[in-house]
């Protein structure tokens, strides 16, 4: 037997004794490593007499190819075997309880806004969105509060560095946007959105809060429609037996202006700590749209009348859920938010 032949047999026998991947890799470096026997056998070629070189070289290469193939086959088999082993040994235990996903939820303010929108949608109101950054003109002047009008003091305002550009203090400027868009068609919309006021933050007031404005314009809209609409809203929101009363008030953009109260949901009018012994809770401001405001929106006050109202959904949510601190709404505390 030639030396090459016996090298090959020895290598193949050795390969059979390699029991795992580590053993196989050891075998590989023993025969094919830098100091391995195959390399050594190939190097010999140079020292042979020229006539013997060709045959020897071919044989050596042949041995190399056979051994490489044998090694690769053994390695692949070994890998397959260890995969099968681990699959049967480490069975997946699907009886372990899973990790439950933590579902998110809508913010209480959003939930309340959607409830309010749904109630007004049933009464045929559409939702109209308008901007949070407003001009002084829309926020005040076009709502019948020219510059230096003392009524402007009712709203503490955030100003931007651009003169005349402010954060809206109420959703009422949206009234002008809707009117200018739809005149001379009749209008029945609500305008929900965020408002901003430069105020001290207390349990009762925040620098940002939502409002829902309402606006109805037509050729025979009266105070009776206003009262009926608001009563229907209060009863849908707080329960069929709710009573509503209106008080005279003042807003520059309505004439007459009213304040709307609802009998207290805790004591039903008897007087308790929530209603401060009065038996009534204030829920919104409202009134008949001022002729000047109609005109600014493009409606002829000789032909058209309208009513408007404005309420704070956070206040409504506070009444509904007995929340005592309005600051909870934007404090981002999950202990509060996840209760609703
Ligand atoms: N804009 C008023 C406020 O922020 C609320 C309001 C009162 C809106 C009467 C109206 C209204 O549309 O008619 O306090």
Q: What is the mean pLDDT of the chain?
A: 93
Query: What is the pLDDT confidence band of residue 208, given thresholds at 50, 70 and 90?
Result: very high
Cis peptide before 256 (omega within 30 of 0): yes
**Nearest CA residue ID for atom 3, ligand 1:** 170
Consecutive H or E run containing 273: none
Does residue 40 have a pLDDT over 80? yes
* Residue 300 DSSP class: -
pLDDT number for residue 285: 97
Rounded to whole angstroms, the Cα distance separating 64 from 73 reads: 14
- The vertex-39 CA angle with 38 and 45, nearest 5°, equals 100
Does residue 231 have a pLDDT over 70? yes
Query: What is the pLDDT confidence band of residue 35, given thresholds at 50, 70 and 90?
Result: confident
DSSP secondary structure of 95-160: TSPP---------HHHHHHHHHHHHHHHTTPEE----SEEEHHHHTGGGT--TT-GGGGGS---B-
What is the arithmetic mean of pLDDT over 135-157? Answer: 93
Distances (CA, A) of 2 to 59, 63, 70: 10, 12, 20
Rounded to whole angstroms, the Cα distance separating 225 from 272 reads: 31
Question: In angstroms, what is the span from residue 140 Cα to ligand 1's centroid?
Answer: 12
Rounded to whole angstroms, the Cα distance separating 248 from 273 reads: 24
Rounded to whole angstroms, the Cα distance separating 76 from 30 reads: 19
What is the arithmetic mean of pLDDT over 299-321? Answer: 96
Q: Are 331 and 234 in contact (CB under 8 A)?
A: no
Q: Read off φ and ψ for residue 305, nearest 5 degrees.
A: -130, 170
What is the arithmetic mean of pLDDT over 180-186? Answer: 97
Question: In angstroms, what is the span from residue 293 Cα to ligand 1's centroid?
Answer: 13
What is the arithmetic mean of pLDDT over 173-202? Answer: 96
Protein residues whose CB sits closer than 6 Å to any atom of ligand 1: 170, 172, 213, 251, 254, 285-287, 308-310
Q: Where are the beta strands (DSSP E) in the chain?
A: 126-127, 133-135, 165-167, 187-196, 208-218, 244-249, 254-263, 280-289, 305-311
Q: Which atom, in ligand 1's list, is nearest to the CA of 253?
A: 13
**Nearest CA residue ID for atom 12, ligand 1:** 309
Q: Which residues pair with 309 in a beta bridge?
A: 214, 286
Maximal CA-CA distance, the chain: 124
pLDDT number for residue 215: 98
Does residue 45 have a pLDDT over 90? no
Question: In angstroms, what is the span from residue 312 Cα to ligand 1's centroid?
Answer: 10
Distances (CA, A) of 114 to 111, 135, 159, 190, 206: 5, 28, 30, 12, 21
Provide the residue ranges of all domains of the chain, joining segments of one domain with +.
2-90, 108-337
Does residue 233 have a pLDDT over 90? yes
What is the arithmetic mean of pLDDT over 165-183? Answer: 97
Tell me what percent of the residues of the chain surpass a pLDDT of 90: 66
108-337 CATH fold:
BirA Bifunctional Protein; domain 2 (3.30.930)
Question: In angstroms, what is the span from residue 309 Cα to ligand 1's centroid?
Answer: 6
Q: Which atom, in ligand 1's list, is nearest to the CA of 175?
A: 12
What is the arithmetic mean of pLDDT over 55-80? Answer: 91
Query: What is the pLDDT confidence band of residue 227, given thresholds at 50, 70 and 90?
Result: very high
Distances (CA, A) of 234 to 107, 172, 265: 22, 21, 11
Does residue 207 have a pLDDT over 80? yes
**Nearest CA residue ID for atom 6, ligand 1:** 310
Does residue 216 have a pLDDT over 70? yes
Rounded to whole angstroms, the Cα distance separating 198 from 157 reads: 5
pLDDT number for residue 329: 96
Q: Which atom, in ligand 1's list, is nearest to the CA of 211?
A: 4
Distances (CA, A) of 174 to 34, 61, 136, 309: 84, 89, 13, 12
Rounded to whole angstroms, the Cα distance separating 139 from 205 reads: 20
Ligand 1 site-directed mutation target among 152, 170, 209, 261, most atoms within 8 Å of CB? 170
Question: In angstroms, what is the span from residue 265 Cα to ligand 1's centroid?
Answer: 23
Q: Which atom, in ligand 1's list, is nearest to the CA of 170?
A: 4
Rounded to whole angstroms, the Cα distance separating 257 from 57 reads: 110
Q: Read off φ and ψ for residue 175, nearest 5 degrees.
A: -55, -45
Whose tokens are 């190819």? That residue is 65
Ligand 1 site-directed mutation target among 179, 310, 316, most atoms within 8 Å of CB? 310
Question: In angstroms, what is the span from residue 86 Cα to ligand 1's centroid?
Answer: 72
What is the arithmetic mean of pLDDT over 120-146? Answer: 97
Q: Which two tokens stand for residue 140?
A: 């005040």
Question: In angstroms, what is the span from residue 285 Cα to ligand 1's centroid?
Answer: 5
pLDDT number for residue 299: 98
Question: In angstroms, what is the span from residue 287 Cα to ligand 1's centroid?
Answer: 8
Q: Which two tokens stand for residue 199?
A: 């105020």
Q: Read off φ and ψ for residue 130, nearest 5 degrees.
A: -135, 170
Does residue 154 have a pLDDT over 70? yes
What is the arithmetic mean of pLDDT over 35-39? Answer: 86
**Nearest CA residue ID for atom 13, ligand 1:** 286
Does residue 217 have a pLDDT over 90? yes
- Ranking 66-70, 84-88, 196-200 by mean pLDDT, the lowest is 84-88
Query: What is the pLDDT confidence band of residue 1, given thresholds at 50, 70 and 90?
Result: low
Question: In angstroms, what is the span from residue 168 Cα to ligand 1's centroid?
Answer: 12
Query: What is the pLDDT confidence band of residue 294, given thresholds at 50, 70 and 90?
Result: very high
Rounded to whole angstroms, the Cα distance separating 93 from 327 reads: 47
50 against 312, higher pLDDT? 312
């Amino acid at each position: 037997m030639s030396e090459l032949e016996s090298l090959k047999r020895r290598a193949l026998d050795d390969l059979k004794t390699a029991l795992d991947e580590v053993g196989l890799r050891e075998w590989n470096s023993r025969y094919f490593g830098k100091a391995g026997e195959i390399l050594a056998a190939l190097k010999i070629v140079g020292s042979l007499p020229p006539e013997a070189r060709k045959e020897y070289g071919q044989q050596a290469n042949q041995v190399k190819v056979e051994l490489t193939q044998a090694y690769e086959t053994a390695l692949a088999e070994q890998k397959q075997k260890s995969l099968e082993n681990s699959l049967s040994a480490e069975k997946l235990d699907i009886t372990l309880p899973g990790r439950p996903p933590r579902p998110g939820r809508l913010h209480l303010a959003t939930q309340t806004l959607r409830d309010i929108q749904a109630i007004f949608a049933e009464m045929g109101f559409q939702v109209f969105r308008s901007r949070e950054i407003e001009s002084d003109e829309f926020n005040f002047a076009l709502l019948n509060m020219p510059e230096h009008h003392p009524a402007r003091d009712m709203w503490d305002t955030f100003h931007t560095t651009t003169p005349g550009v402010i954060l809206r203090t109420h959703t009422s400027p949206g009234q002008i946007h809707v009117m200018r868009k739809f005149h001379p068609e009749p209008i029945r919309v609500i305008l929900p959105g965020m408002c901003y006021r430069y105020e001290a933050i207390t349990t009762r007031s925040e620098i940002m809060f939502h409002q829902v404005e309402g606006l109805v314009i037509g050729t025979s809209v009266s105070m009776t429609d206003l009262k009926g609409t608001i009563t229907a809203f209060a009863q849908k929101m707080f329960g069929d037996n709710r009573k509503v009363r209106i008080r005279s008030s003042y807003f520059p953009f309505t004439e007459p202006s009213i304040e709307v109260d609802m009998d207290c949901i805790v004591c039903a009018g008897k007087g308790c700590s929530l209603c401060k012994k009065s038996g009534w809770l204030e829920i919104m401001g409202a009134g008949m749209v001022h002729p000047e405001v109609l005109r600014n929106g493009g409606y002829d006050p000789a032909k058209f009348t309208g009513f408007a109202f404005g309420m704070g959904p956070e206040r409504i949510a506070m009444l509904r859920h007995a929340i005592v601190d309005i600051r909870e709404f934007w404090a981002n505390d999950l202990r509060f938010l996840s209760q609703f």
